[in-house]
Amino acid sequence: MSQLMRVNMNTKEISFEDLSNNKDYGGFGGRGLTSMIVSKEVPPTCHPLSEKNKLVIAAGLLSGTPAANSGRLSVGAKSPLTGGIKESNAGGTAAFKLGRLGIRGIVVEGQAEPGKLYCLIVNKDGATLHPADEYKGLKNYDLVEKLKEKHGEKVGTISIGPAGEMKMSSASVAVSDPMGRPTRHAGRGGMGAVMGSKGLKAVVIDDAGAPKIEYTNFDAFKEAAAKLRKTLQTHDVTKPGGGLAVFGTNVLVNIMNEAGGFPTRNFTEGRFEGAEKISGETMHDVIKERGGDTTHAGCTTCIIQCSNIYHDKDKNYVTSALEYETIWANGANCGIDDLDSIAQIDRLCDDYGVDTIETGCAIGVAMAGGLKEFGDAKGAIELLHEIGKGTPLGRILGNGASVTGQAFGVSDVPVVKRQSMPAYDPRAVKGQGVTYATTPMGADHTAGYAVATNIMKVGGYVDPLKPDGQVELSRNLQIATAALDSAGMCVFIAFAVLDIPEGLEAIPEMLNARYGLNMTLDDVTKHGQAILKVERAFNTAAGFTNLDDRLPDFFKEKKLAPHNVVFDVSDEELDQAHNY
Amino acid sequence: MSQLMRVNMNTKEISFEDLSNNKDYGGFGGRGLTSMIVSKEVPPTCHPLSEKNKLVIAAGLLSGTPAANSGRLSVGAKSPLTGGIKESNAGGTAAFKLGRLGIRGIVVEGQAEPGKLYCLIVNKDGATLHPADEYKGLKNYDLVEKLKEKHGEKVGTISIGPAGEMKMSSASVAVSDPMGRPTRHAGRGGMGAVMGSKGLKAVVIDDAGAPKIEYTNFDAFKEAAAKLRKTLQTHDVTKPGGGLAVFGTNVLVNIMNEAGGFPTRNFTEGRFEGAEKISGETMHDVIKERGGDTTHAGCTTCIIQCSNIYHDKDKNYVTSALEYETIWANGANCGIDDLDSIAQIDRLCDDYGVDTIETGCAIGVAMAGGLKEFGDAKGAIELLHEIGKGTPLGRILGNGASVTGQAFGVSDVPVVKRQSMPAYDPRAVKGQGVTYATTPMGADHTAGYAVATNIMKVGGYVDPLKPDGQVELSRNLQIATAALDSAGMCVFIAFAVLDIPEGLEAIPEMLNARYGLNMTLDDVTKHGQAILKVERAFNTAAGFTNLDDRLPDFFKEKKLAPHNVVFDVSDEELDQAHNY
């Protein structure tokens, strides 16, 4: 049985609903579940920090099973950053543990008394809400240590740092990793601010003694899961010894720099002269030398192991999951080529609880506005502390690149729907530009990762520098991703299943075997489309129009070196991205 | 001949066009001219601080003539505050002088080199652009002193303070008054930021030696002008010895407080216990005692004389045009009941060049967020200096109430289209609420001043506490106001002409006699409608929908004391506000 838990922060009441026969939500998990609930229950025009917003935390449809890479956790709400619907997802252990406990979703409703904090404890006996004022102002690492001391080393945690308590629009929701550290973040769109506005500091999940997961047909499930596993272990990108396993996601620095789509100094150039110093290859050697871990599973059930553990010069732990997007945002995008400084920024982002992408972009915009020089690593670290302390400057930066641009009078701000862009310049990776523009999520790379086909030639090839075919590419990826996000699957399995049909088939087969369904691949597509449709309808009801599905003008006007390209997918084509 | 001057800040070229036969712009002045030009020439989705935006400064159709109260200046652009079209208007001497020089509008295009400032000198021989880096960072009072030293005591000036140079979204455009002080501001919507983004620090207008204004029929003009003058001198609100002349606009404190619609402490109550201490009656006595001026013309040709000159305890000049909206925003709205502190805040707003309404609302929101205590006058003055210095805190506040709310995690923020509300609570003055919601300008009182009919019973009476009839009232006022704004007339003449038909007729009669037209009152209405239509079309093309024509939810949910009312004009009714 899969349950939906509701936590009312006004009354402190907790209730459970069986999802099996729920006609609105029953067939959805992960992003599918968060988006269906937000869409049906949150007034689209409400203030995102008001009590009418709801925070939905959801495990995927396959979370809790041993299916490879099925442990992504979705966090959804109306976003204080974009003003639209939002799903942000993270790895870690929480989704798996929730799945094991038979809990597919937690809906946090209402608002606690102003200034009061609570902690939600979830275990095999149910859930309880406890005052948590003693955790006020705690950073994520200290907080999680205290939670483990109290509730046991093996619990999973979902938490906010000071930024979430301060309701900053870049505040993340931290999820603890298999080592018990708060390194995996649902970073995008300020879900941590919504959690903070509810007065919820942390969720502790103890799956000890959880009953066995029920399968309609366990043998069929095992068989399908094996197909997916084999697919991932076969494909060049995802296999052991492949790019992701050896260098982590940061393998992309050299690839994107070579492609001329590596946004540098607030998206003014496409190549960074310091790329080599922050590349995956360099990082691999540094980590090895210092006794860190170059390959590491950040999510329960992960077999790709793209994560890592980064040590400082004295071989002490600094951070984990030092990812490509983080290294780019706080590296090339700020003109910074020092990995140790970037690692420190990553740790501070995780600890204060802010999105590394939004933060790096905000700092890049502040540098463009003259607050610091590009390349000033020490200055960037100072800015991170301003965020953590909640100084006025920290409140500007912590509310993201768009507010930072307004504060410092900068007009070239790389955002869509007020959310900042990730690590691929849309002029040189045009399929990615279409995704940034048209996903309901605001500029987001995972929502339709066209880099796969534009750059890595996975699932075919579409020339990244030409407008042709980008809308179709992005459309198909957006649909597939929405479905994967509902299943709780990592987006990286797409690399393999786009090329190896058996892997793709395994997904509906696992769902069918788990729940007794008869889904086809076509149904998976419809599932993804259904999610996107409610998300877009929510945004329309919140006041968005097709004009919100556009990149800022400067991407259409200012040429990006070295290819000297602009973003030239027409508005008319962009308006076809959701034509299905 | 009426001319349109174009100033290209890229090339520094200045050109003139005859407006007489211009089919798009010829029939428009003031707001009509700014909105027609912005609508036709500015891409609706451009960044407001990019070079594609244009700043349009326009005199009214009757400016330059001796018609009573015809000296309002319009400043228009795409607003960095609202993201929509904007016209903000001010008194002073500039419109009259431009009218005398035969210049109906100045279009400032492009952008100067980053960091460079220029000054535009306009006189009977034409116009020239001069480097003005020596004025960098100057506050408006110092700047205007220097400009007068250089160009003569009698010039009129249009300028920005440090806030405009810093491109803050609340930055105003200052216009010098008949005493030569920069006290009249086109405050709303950040027009000063657009002027700053162009690199234009000041416009100096010297009308010495200007040719005589041409009239098609001077006698008819004189006759019509006399009718309007008589109307203003007859009506109780506008006549010598009437409320406006004796107490200035601040006569409204007691009236609005009594009506229970005087927003107090960030719109949480409708009556302020300190109202008496900041009322027009009290201020009148204080000014008298200190040798200031209780009644004063802030605009050339003004015969209502609602302005004033405020001295400190030592009888030294502090500020002029200490108006109701300013006293409310920085008084009751912040829980402050000390007139001397409010006068100081007004002076600082004028000097740094920010809108007093937006600033007071931003401070009120910051107080709601816990930055200062309500009632802390000293703290509020400190915050003004933060704005002037451009500290990070100043950049939050200087970008308005909406950014301030985001920075401090406040969800009850009194804005529409991100522009903060003036001094009438929409729950207790519902006609005003309709105007706030539906004017293309963002929350604005002058765009359709329903207070006149809701509270002062001018032009009939519509019960302010009931939703009935408010949409029709606001619609008619919005249309009439757009027409008045095009003529360059002060909105206060509406008090008189709404009650006295001869005064109303005088407006088309003056236009006909000046330009040889055959306008009827019906044509005046059509003129107003035409302006509103292009403004709304611009906003639609910028991404606005009917959902932007709404008040924030808390006005619909939280009851306002003492009447315990919510804003209950339905969304369906609001959508009819522009049905004409």
Query: Mind listing the pLDDT tens digit for each residue in A258-317?
Result: 999 999 999 999 999 999 999 999 999 999 999 999 988 889 999 999 999 999 999 999
Tokens 């049985």 -> residue = A1
Residue of chain A nearest B549, judged by CA positions: A543
* Nearest Cα residue in chain A from B541: A547
Q: Nearest-CA distance from B550 to chain A in Å?
A: 10
Tokens at B578, concatenated = 């522009």
- Identify which of B481, B419, B420, B421 has the alpha carbon closest to the alpha carbon of residue B450: B481
Measured distance CA(B189)–CA(B193) in Å, rounded: 9
Mean pLDDT of B440-457: 96
Residues of chain A that touch chain B, judged by Cβ-Cβ distance less than 8 Å: 43, 45-50, 52, 80, 166-169, 193, 196-197, 391-393, 395-396, 399, 403, 406-413, 541-545, 547-548, 550, 552-554
Least confident residue range of A151-160, A343-352, B295-304: B295-304
Tell me if residue A501 falls in helix, strand or coil. helix
Q: Which residue has tokens 């200045």?
A: B14
Question: B398 to chain A nearest CA, in Å?
Answer: 8
Element (H or E) spanning A5, and its range?
Answer: strand A3-8
Per-residue model confidence (pLDDT) at position B296? 87
Q: Is A516 left (phi over 0), alpha (psi -120 to 50) or beta?
A: left
Q: Quick one: residue B390, left, alpha or beta (phi over 0 = left, psi -120 to 50 = alpha)? A: left
Residue of B nearest to A553 (CA): B46
Spell out which residues of chain A touch residue B195, defining contact as CB-CB under 8 Å: none
- Contacts of residue A385 in chain B, CB cutoff 8 Å? none
How many A/B residue pairs have CB atoms within 8 Å?
98
Contact A396 B395 (CB under 8 A): yes
* The pLDDT of residue A250 is above 90: yes
Give which of B406, B546, B556 to mutate to test A binding, by max A Cβ within 10 Å.
B406
Give A340's contacts (C-beta < 8 A, 6+ positions apart).
Answer: A312, A313, A318
pLDDT in tens, B431-440: 999 999 999 9
pLDDT of B444 strictly over 90: yes
CA proximity to A267, closest of A403, A449, A422, A448: A422
Cα–Cα separations (whole angstroms), residue B457 to B311, B451, B487: 33, 8, 25
Cα torsion angle, A419, A424, A427, A429, sign: negative
- What gap in Å lies between CA B175 and CA B403, rounded to an integer? 27
Helices of type H across A7-139 = 30-41, 94-100
Phi, psi torsion values for B29, nearest 5 degrees: -135, 180
Q: Which residues of B touch A50 (CB under 8 A)?
A: 411, 553-554
Does B554 score more than 80 pLDDT? Answer: yes
Its CATH class, for the domain covering A246-425, is: mainly alpha
A81: confidence class by pLDDT, cuts 50, 70, 90: very high
Helix (H) or strand (E) holding A122: strand A118-123
Nearest to B411 among A47, A391, A552 (CB): A47
The mean pLDDT value for A554-572 works out to 98
Mean pLDDT calculated for residue range A53-72: 96
Position of tokens 């501001």? Answer: B185
Q: Which residues from B are below 8 Å from A when comparing CB atoms?
A: 43, 45-50, 52, 80, 166-169, 193, 196-197, 391-393, 395-396, 399, 403, 406-413, 541-545, 547-548, 550, 552-554
pLDDT at A243 > cutoff 90: no
Query: For residue B82, which of B220, B227, B188, B210 has the smallest C-alpha distance?
Result: B188
Determine whether the interchain pair A547/B553 forms a contact, defined as Cβ–Cβ distance below 8 Å: no
pLDDT at B297 > cutoff 90: no
Q: Is the CB of A409 less than 8 angstroms away from the CB of B197?
A: yes
Which pLDDT belongs to residue B323? 95
What ipTM was reported for this prediction? 0.95
Q: Is the pLDDT of residue B183 over 90?
A: yes
Q: Rg of chain B over CA atoms, in angstroms?
A: 21
Probe site for chain B from A49, A79, A411, A549 (most B CB atoms < 10 A)? A411
Question: Could you count the other beta carbons within 10 Å of the beta carbon of residue A297?
Answer: 19
Q: Is the separation of the CB atoms in A429 and A252 below 8 Å? A: no
Nearest CA in chain B to A193: B409
Shortest distance, CA A165 to any CA of chain B (angstroms): 9
pLDDT, one tens digit per residue, over B117-163 is 999 999 999 999 999 999 999 999 999 999 999 999 999 999 999 99
Q: What value does the mean pLDDT take over residues A206-231?
A: 96
Is there a contact between B516 and B503 (Cβ–Cβ < 8 Å)?
A: no
Nearest to B395 among A167, A169, A407 (CB): A407
Alpha-carbon gap, residue B251 to B68, rounded angstroms: 22
A408 to B395: CB separation less than 8 angstroms, yes or no: yes
CB neighbours of residue A17 within 10 Å? 15
Please name the amino acid found at residue A2. Answer: S
Residues of chain B with pLDDT > 90, as a percent, come to: 98
Taking residues B442-453, report their average pLDDT.
97
The pTM assigned to this predicted structure is: 0.96
Preferred mutation among B53, B411, B415, B575 to probe A, highest tally of A CBs within 10 A:
B411
| Residue range(s) in chain B whose domain bears CATH number 1.10.569.10 | 250-424
Which of B395, B418, B556, B557 is best to mutate for the A interface (most A CBs within 10 A)?
B395
pLDDT single digits (tens) A108-130:
999 999 999 999 999 999 999 99
Q: Helices in A24-100 by DSSP H: which ranges?
A: 30-41, 94-100
Average pLDDT over residues A512-530: 96
Q: Are B47 and A553 within 8 A, CB to CB?
A: yes
Q: With an 8 Å Cβ cutoff, are A50 and B411 in contact?
A: yes
Shortest distance between the Cα of B402 and any Cα of chain A, in A, equals 10
Transcribe A217-248 into DSSP letters. -HHHHHHHHHHHHHHHHHSTTTSTTSHHHHHG
Domain with CATH 3.60.9.10 in chain B: 3-205
The rounded mean pLDDT for chain A is: 97
Select from B311, B149, B333 the least CA-distant residue to B253: B333
- Contact across the interface for A395 and B396, Cβ inside 8 Å: yes
Q: Which residues contact A325 (CB under 8 A, 6 or more apart)?
A: A249, A356, A357, A422, A423, A445
* Of B238, B439, B404, B247, nearest in space to B333 by CA: B404
Average pLDDT over residues B35-51: 97
Which residues, 6+ apart, have CB-to-CB distance to A267 below 8 Å? A333, A364, A412, A414, A421, A425, A555, A560
**pLDDT one-digit tens code per residue, A413-462:** 999 999 999 999 999 999 999 999 999 999 999 999 999 999 999 999 99
* Residue A1: band (very low, low, confident or very high) from pLDDT cuts 50, 70, 90: confident
What does the pLDDT average to over A242-261?
94
A545/B548 touch (CB, cutoff 8 Å), yes or no: no
Pairing of strands A118-123, A415-416: unpaired
User: What's the pLDDT at A73?
Assistant: 97
Q: What is the pLDDT of residue B514?
A: 96
Nearest of A62, A71, A102, A104 to residue A221 by alpha carbon = A62
Return the percentage of chain B with pLDDT > 70, whole number: 100
Interface touch A407/B399, C-beta < 8 Å? yes
| CATH number, domain B250-424 | 1.10.569.10
Alpha-carbon torsion, ordered A511, A512, A518, A523, to 10 deg: 10
Q: What pLDDT is attached to residue A48?
A: 98
Put simply, the answer to whether B50 touches A553 (Cβ < 8 Å) is: yes
CATH level 2 (architecture), domain A3-205: 4-Layer Sandwich (3.60)
